[in-house]
């Protein structure tokens, strides 16, 4: 319970205590502002130093290439050739280290974030906040997955109203837009999300927007059930599996205390990741081929004489782009992981 002074002398003593406390608070705040200025200065000098190192290393790489070209191997001693190769390896390591350092330094937003948020700094300055933001992103996707699953189930099996479908598509547009913003912020904070996954959400936003404008009619009804069943599978079921895999990766890597530079200490993580991936991949690929099937259905519908809606062709093209991007990027991710794994086993 708070102490409340009664007599005047008690009030006076309380006032003096408060004054002292206020002075201490002012000193702490002054120190805080001083440290903030110090941090800003350090950030600026780190950013400048990284930019300078990058420029010089680029020049040096060019000069090393020149040395190799002007002096073919017989003229360049074996030792010099080895020294050049070592230097090139070290330059590559440094470039990776710069990217990790930059994840903790404020930087200018890209075009998309500048357009959406303006020029506000979105860099989170400690690992804890970065982890919390990524964790929140995964949880946000999970909550929306549940909502979208219930929504698509209702539209598919319980009520068939165009207005309800429109609300569902509107929710999808909002969801994908939000993901693109959150993912751009994650990338600014050092996340290695591939460009395609972000672009895939732009295409999905466009696709849901087109679905929203598709007028009620025979063609709409022809595609409706297939579309809603696909949503149930892809947005509901597969996304839930993806959440399980991604958050599993996140927590395990956090527990290991490192993220991108995997070495022997992460062997257990590697085996968990491969088990997770081999379980997830068949469902992912099935979803990709469903996207292809959607696009073929829409292209066939476009050839019908009664087809007047431009939405049919637009949705067909979008599904085709989604299929190709998702399928080949997933294959690329798995191939790269496999090759990294092989390299690691060779170095053991």
182 binds ligand COA (CB under 6 A): no
Chain Cα centroid distance, residue 61? 31
- The answer to whether the CB of 109 falls within 8 A of the CB of 120 is yes
Residue 239's contacts (CB-CB under 8 Å, 6 or more residues apart) are 141, 145
Question: Could you say which residues in the range 323-342 bind ligand COA, by CB under 6 A?
Answer: 326, 330, 333
**Shortest gap between Cβ of 333 and ligand COA (angstroms)?**
5
Enter the tokens of residue 304. 């019908």
Q: Does 287 bind ligand COA (CB under 6 A)?
A: yes
Judge whether 290 and 332 are in contact, CB under 8 Å: no
Q: Please identify which residue in 203, 232, 284, 312 interacts with ligand COA, judged by CB under 6 A.
A: 284
Interface with ligand COA in residues 90-149 (CB under 6 A): 134
- Tell which positions 247-266 bind ligand COA, by CB under 6 A: 249
Among 191, 226, 229, 341, indicate the residue that binds ligand COA (CB under 6 A): 191
Q: Is 320 in the site for ligand COA (CB under 6 A)?
A: no
Residues 255 and 294: beta-carbon distance below 8 Å? no
Residue 108 φ/ψ, nearest 5 degrees: -70, 140
* Sequential DSSP letters for 150-175: HHHHIIIII---HHHHHHHHHHHHHH
Smallest gap, in angstroms, from Cβ of residue 213 to ligand COA?
22
3-state secondary structure of 280: helix
* 311/326 with CB nearer ligand COA: 326
Q: Does 246 bind ligand COA (CB under 6 A)?
A: yes
- The residues binding ligand COA (CB under 6 A) are 134, 186, 191-193, 197, 234, 242, 245-246, 249, 280, 284, 287, 326, 330, 333
């Amino acid at each position: 319970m708070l102490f409340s002074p009664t007599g005047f002398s008690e009030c006076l003593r309380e006032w003096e205590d408060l004054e002292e406390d206020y002075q201490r608070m002012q000193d702490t705040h002054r120190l805080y502002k001083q440290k903030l200025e110090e941090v800003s200065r350090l950030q600026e000098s780190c950013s400048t130093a990284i930019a300078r190192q990058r420029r010089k290393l680029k020049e040096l790489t060019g000069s090393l290439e020149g040395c190799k070209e002007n002096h073919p191997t017989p003229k360049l001693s074996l030792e010099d050739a080895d020294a050049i190769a070592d230097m090139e390896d070290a330059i590559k390591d440094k470039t990776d280290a710069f990217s990790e350092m930059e994840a903790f330094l404020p930087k200018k937003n890209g075009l998309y974030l500048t357009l959406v948020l303006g020029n506000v700094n979105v860099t989170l300055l400690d690992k804890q906040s970065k982890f919390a933001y990524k964790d929140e992103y995964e949880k946000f996707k999970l909550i929306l997955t549940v909502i979208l699953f219930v929504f698509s189930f209702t539209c598919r099996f319980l009520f068939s109203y165009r207005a309800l479908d429109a609300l569902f598509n509107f929710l999808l547009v909002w969801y994908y837009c939000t993901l693109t913003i959150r993912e751009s912020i994650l990338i600014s904070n050092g996340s290695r999300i591939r460009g395609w996954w972000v672009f895939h959400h732009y295409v999905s936003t466009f696709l849901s927007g087109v679905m929203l404008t598709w007028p009620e009619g025979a063609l709409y009804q022809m595609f409706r059930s297939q579309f809603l069943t696909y949503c149930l599978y892809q947005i509901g079921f597969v996304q839930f599996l993806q959440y399980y895999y991604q958050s599993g990766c996140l927590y395990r890597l956090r527990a290991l205390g490192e993220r991108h530079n995997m070495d022997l200490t992460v062997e257990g993580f590697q085996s968990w990741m491969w088990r997770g991936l081999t379980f997830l991949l068949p469902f992912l690929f099935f979803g990709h081929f469903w996207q292809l099937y959607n696009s073929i259905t829409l292209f066939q519908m476009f050839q019908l004489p009664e087809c007047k809606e431009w939405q049919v062709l637009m949705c067909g093209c979008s599904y085709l782009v989604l299929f190709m991007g998702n399928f080949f990027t997933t294959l690329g991710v798995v191939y790269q992981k496999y090759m990294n794994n092989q390299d690691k086993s060779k170095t053991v």
